[in-house]
């Protein structure tokens, strides 16, 4: 595959998009390029002040962009429901949903709904958001849901149904990998269920790109050593954030994307290299794992995809 860049993004005029966590890092660059290529983009951000700063940054970089801000806290299912309701009241459909927002390596704290925060934000919040927006996605044939994963799950990561919330034992990096592995399983299962109705679930990861995501945990713990532990290799080896956003943009817009596949850097260990389809852990192909995770996710979030899909059918 030839080197794919943001210049290869097709014209997105007339399409709508939501990017969670769009106020900084990968989310900002993803939203910027989608807007720059014609999409009507909503920045879904937890912090309104930071969201407004990102909004102005995109408007400066792309003065003709259609871009807006909406507050979304993925650690609060009531906020997810409110966001989806307001978005649906204003627009008849949704073409691209990028489940980008994430938290990495933090101490065990709980969301507003009592979930371990990494699992709650990185996976469950996005599962609920996608389900709430399902009628809008099904209204747009060819719609895509892109969920962010990580190259690390190819080496470690498991979904422990007996310890999903880290009650029995908690390791902050295992919790992160569990949530990112769940995103891979979710993307495949979403495609299995809905690709026949024109909706694709796809995964992407940036490889090793510049971000401040890894500093949140050390700062919460007041550990200067841990912060330096991440900062030094980032300064030495990480690629620019805008480059790290390319796999997400490819998964969201390229015409040859395969439903259920994952896209990332194709170099050694999927850390750097050209953007393309990458290998994923064998375990995510287990249909029993997918069905169990889906059932647990619906029960925990209270979001039934069958019911929201039925509401779309009644309204069409």
pLDDT tens-place string over residues 66-111: 999 999 999 999 999 999 999 999 999 999 999 999 999 899 999 9
CA proximity to 155, closest of 266, 279, 292: 279
209: phi then psi, degrees, rounded to nearest 5: -125, 155
Q: What confidence score (pLDDT) does residue 313 get? A: 43
Q: Within its chain, how far is the Cα of 239 from the centroid?
A: 20
| pLDDT, tens digit (0-9, with 9 covering 90-100), for 261-308 | 999 999 999 999 999 999 999 999 999 999 999 999 999 999 999 988
Catalytic site residue 176?
A: yes
At residue 1, does pLDDT exceed 90? no
What is the CATH class of 6-315?
alpha beta
User: In 10 A of CB 269, how many CB atoms?
Assistant: 13
Which one of 87, 176, 194, 263 is the catalytic residue?
176
β-sheet with 262-265: strand ranges across: 66-71, 40-45, 16-20, 96-99, 143-148, 199-204, 262-265, 275-278
Looking at 52-61, 90-99, 211-220, which range is the least confident one?
211-220
User: How many CA atoms are closer than 13 Å to the CA of 85, on its beta-carbon side?
Assistant: 6
């Amino acid at each position: 595959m030839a080197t794919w860049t943001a210049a290869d993004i097709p014209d997105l005029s007339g399409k709508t998009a939501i990017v969670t966590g769009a106020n900084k890092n990968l989310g900002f660059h993803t939203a910027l390029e989608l807007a720059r290529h014609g999409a009507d983009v909503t920045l879904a951000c937890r912090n309104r002040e930071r969201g407004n700063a990102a909004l102005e940054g995109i408007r400066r970089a792309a003065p003709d962009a259609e871009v807006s801000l909406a507050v979304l806290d993925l650690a609060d299912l009531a906020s997810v429901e409110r966001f989806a309701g307001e978005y649906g009241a204003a627009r008849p459909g949704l073409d691209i949903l990028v489940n980008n927002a994430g938290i990495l390596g933090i101490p065990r704290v709980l969301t507003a709904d009592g979930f371990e925060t990494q699992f709650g934000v990185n996976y469950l919040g996005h599962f609920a958001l996608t389900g709430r927006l399902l009628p809008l996605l099904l209204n747009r044939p060819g719609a895509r849901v892109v969920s962010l994963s990580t190259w690390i799950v190819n080496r470690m990561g498991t979904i422990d149904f007996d310890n999903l919330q880290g009650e029995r034992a908690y390791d902050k990096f295992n919790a992160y990998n569990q949530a990112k592995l769940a995103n891979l399983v979710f993307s495949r299962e979403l495609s299995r269920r809905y690709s026949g109705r024109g909706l694709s679930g796809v995964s992407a990861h940036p490889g090793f790109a510049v971000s401040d995501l890894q500093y949140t945990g050390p700062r919460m713990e007041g550990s200067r050593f841990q912060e330096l532990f991440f900062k030094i290799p980032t300064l030495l080896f990480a690629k620019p954030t805008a480059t790290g956003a390319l796999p997400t943009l490819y998964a969201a817009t390229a015409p040859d994307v395969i439903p259920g596949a994952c896209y990332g850097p194709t170099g050694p260990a999927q850390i750097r290299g050209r953007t393309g389809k990458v290998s994923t852990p064998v375990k995510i192909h287990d249909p029993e794992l997918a069905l169990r995770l889906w059932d647990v996710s619906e029960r925990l979030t209270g979001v039934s995809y069958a019911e929201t899909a039925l509401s779309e059918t009644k309204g069409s």
